[in-house]
């Protein structure tokens, strides 16, 4: 039997695929952006710990924290707040029109050993 028209089931599957693929791509992009934000948070935390350790032994904690940041996060802000170091960075956006995500972390070493 020669059927000149398209198979209705095949056409429906194609239409469903066209509707689902953008949703899958958006979900994958959102997940990837969360991974980048998590990486930025972990990097900020590590930089804050490096800065706190350096300040604890009498060095320049802010400079050490800035050096510890990965290069995509370097425009971070490092500040000393009493006995600790705070690091704030912006996680890079995966798409140019998306805003970057600010994340911050802080660390302190208690010289008295209480806590």
Terminal C-alpha separation, the chain:
83
* Residue showing tokens 């425009």: 75
Q: What is the pLDDT along the chain (115 residues), one digit of tens a residue?
A: 455 555 666 667 677 777 788 899 999 999 999 999 999 999 999 999 999 999 989 899 999 999 999 988 867 899 988 778 999 999 999 888 888 889 999 999 876 555 4
* Residue showing tokens 């997940």: 31
Tell me which residue range forms the domain holding 103. Answer: 18-108
Is 30 within a domain?
yes
pTM for the full predicted model: 0.77
- Give the pLDDT score at 10: 67
Number of domains into which the chain is organized: 1
Q: For residues 99 and 64, what is the distance between their CA atoms, to the nearest angstrom?
A: 28
Residues in a beta bridge with 85: 80, 107
Helix (H) or strand (E) holding 40: helix 8-56
């Amino acid at each position: 039997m020669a059927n000149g028209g398209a198979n209705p089931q095949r056409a429906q599957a194609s239409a469903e695929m066209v509707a689902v693929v953008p949703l899958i791509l958006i979900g994958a992009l959102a997940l990837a952006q969360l991974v980048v934000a998590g990486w930025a948070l972990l990097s900020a935390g590590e930089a804050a710990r490096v800065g706190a350790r350096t300040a604890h032994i009498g060095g320049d904690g802010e400079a050490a924290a800035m050096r510890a940041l990965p290069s995509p996060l370097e425009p971070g802000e490092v500040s000393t707040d009493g006995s600790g170091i705070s690091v704030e960075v912006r996680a890079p956006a995966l798409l140019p029109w998306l805003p970057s995500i600010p994340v911050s972390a802080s660390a302190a070493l208690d010289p008295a050993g209480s806590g």
